[in-house]
Structure 1
């Protein structure tokens, strides 16, 4: 169950509350009884460590080998597909040489 941070805008009382996701948010301040008790936006309470996917794919915000576009270094099978597409021109008035097709 997540822990939510609440704060009263009337008296300033703050409290962390363990609640289910399905529980209704609290509105009554336990200190002053005012209906101004609301959830605060807080940072996550955990940090991922180690060498898992989160470190290799997302650490540093830049693109890595996993996020880079895949282009075969040895010619692979991507080149024949590109050639096959260019040799079979569609039967259109422009012959497939314009950007409309």
Structure 2
């Protein structure tokens, strides 16, 4: 399940919540109880590097020559 960052624009409280992608976004701040709790845009928490799946599965292979 993804982890989403939320921040309240009324009191400034911020927190992370684990939710299913199909779940509705949270709107009520757990601290001040206002309806100003908003999901924040965050960067992905992973990197693809090394000679893993890209090198073996998706890298363009050289074209065959017709000798």
> Unaligned 5+ residue runs, structure 2?
none
* TM-score with structure 1 setting the length: 0.53
More strand by share: 2
Q: Which structure's relative contact order is higher, taking Cα pairs within 8 Å and 6+ residues apart?
A: 2
Q: Secondary structure at the match of 2:6?
A: strand
Cα root mean square deviation, aligned: 2.3
Which residue of the other structure, out of 66, 85, 94, is the alignment partner of 2:60?
66
Question: What do residues 61-87 of structure 1 show as CA deviations (whole Å, max 9, x unaligned)?
Answer: xxxx8289x5x6x5x3xxxxxxxxxxx
User: 1:39 matched to which residue of 2?
Assistant: 39
The count of aligned residue pairs is 63
The two structures have a TM-score, normalised by structure 2, of 0.78
Structure 1 residues not aligned, in runs of 5+: 58-64, 77-101
Please identify which structure carries the higher helix content: 1
Larger of the two Rg values belongs to structure: 1
Which runs of structure 1 show a deviation greater than 6 angstroms over 4 or more consecutive aligned residues? none
